[in-house]
Amino acid sequence: MRHVLRPNHGNLALRLSWRVSLLVLITLFLTALIGFRLPLWVILCIGFLVGIGTFLFIRRIVARRIARLQTTLAKIGEDDATPFTITPAPLRDEFDELNKLAIEANQRILYQMQERERVEHYRREFLGNVSHELKTPIFAIQGFAETLLDGALEDQSVRRAFVKKVLRNATRLGNLAEDLASVARIEMGELSMVLKPFNLNELIEEVSESLESLAADRKVTIRSAVPSGLLPVIADRSRISQVLSNLIDNGIKYGRDGGLVEIIARPVPDGSVKISVVDDGIGIAPEHIPRLTERFFRVEPSRSSKLGGTGLGLAIVKHILGAHNSQLMIESLLESGSTFGFTLPTADVSTGSFQN
């Protein structure tokens, strides 16, 4: 909504008329004093007193108007309507304060404009990435289906290979849809959390078993190292399962064929447990590590697309861990593998106390 300020000529004329009238009255008063043939020093004293009174009167009016202008400037760029008070200042300070408020208001407006521009840029980039990620498997499925219909159905070996490719791309579409739904829930603040104590070793075994077929395709070994007697952790079990699935899945996909993915859990001095997923892959260059949790960011886009990655997994992991007051820690060296870790608080079920 655009607000247009129009001059109020009636009020302007009224303000000018009383100022002119005041000056006329003062002039007439001084003229009358001179007519009485009073001594010069008396006339000067009376004029001085009248001048002081006029100055104080005008000073009060100007200060009040500047205070109102300060109030208006202070509200510029603020989205809320939080009440606030302004402490009156001497007239010589009013203009400095007014200038300060004008600068602050301008900075707030500039920041909000930049923030809106950043959000709009992110929205366009996100939609472009989603469109690209959706079109790639859809066009692949369409191409394989057309090839099959054009006669490849008669060749059993070709038919089987093409059907497997269709299935792989359909699975990729399903994973993308699931990840987009998770991102939408996170954006809308609908990431529900149920924090309860659970056995971490059991969860690691469940997630590892669910990824055994993927690991077998690349001859990767999944191994866990969890000490006996480890206290249960307190977290949302299903969300931590999602975190582990993403991290182990990445370790399998981006590790070496015939390599090892190890899940390590160790207690740390502050009473929490550190969980690390370690692979022996090619590693990640240092300049790429800060961007790994950005949506759709890939170190090797062509390889990620081939492996069926959506580019959203680590972004989701970051938000889930953030909801647990934890964060994703990434360590990697080229040709030496990568380690993705996070911490969770433990629950002492024997006493019912929680250690954070």
Per-residue pLDDT of the chain (356 residues; tens, 9 = 90+): 444 334 444 444 444 445 555 555 666 565 665 555 556 666 567 666 766 766 666 666 666 666 666 666 566 555 544 444 444 444 445 556 666 777 777 788 888 888 888 777 766 766 666 676 677 778 888 888 888 888 777 777 778 888 888 887 787 787 777 777 777 777 777 777 889 999 999 999 999 998 888 888 889 999 999 998 888 999 999 899 989 999 998 899 888 889 999 999 999 988 899 999 999 988 888 888 888 887 777 666 555 555 555 677 888 899 899 989 999 999 998 888 899 999 999 976 434 444 44
Angle at the Cα of 243 (from 224 to 135), degrees rounded to 5? 125
CA distance 146 to 141: 9
Q: Residue ranges per domain, the chain?
A: 9-110, 120-187, 196-355
CA distance 164 to 217: 14
Q: What six digits make up the tokens of 3?
A: 């607000």
* Fold exhibited by the domain 120-187: Helix Hairpins (1.10.287)
From residue 296, give the alpha-carbon distance in Å to each of 124, 195, 292, 315.
13, 29, 9, 8
Q: Which CATH class is domain 196-355?
A: alpha beta
CA distance 260 to 279: 6
CA atoms within 13 A on the CB side of 307: 22
Single-letter code of the amino acid located at 69: L
355 and 345 in contact (C-beta within 8 Å)?
yes
Which helix (H) or strand (E) segment holds residue 263: the answer is strand 260-267
Q: What six digits make up the tokens of 142?
A: 């369409």
- Torsion angle defined by CA atoms of residues 271, 339, 328 and 334, in that order, rounded to the nearest 10 degrees: 150
DSSP 4-40: -----HHHHHHHHHHHHHHHHHHHHHHHHHHHTT--H
pLDDT at 345: 93
Residue 231 DSSP class:
P
Q: What six digits make up the tokens of 252?
A: 């399998």
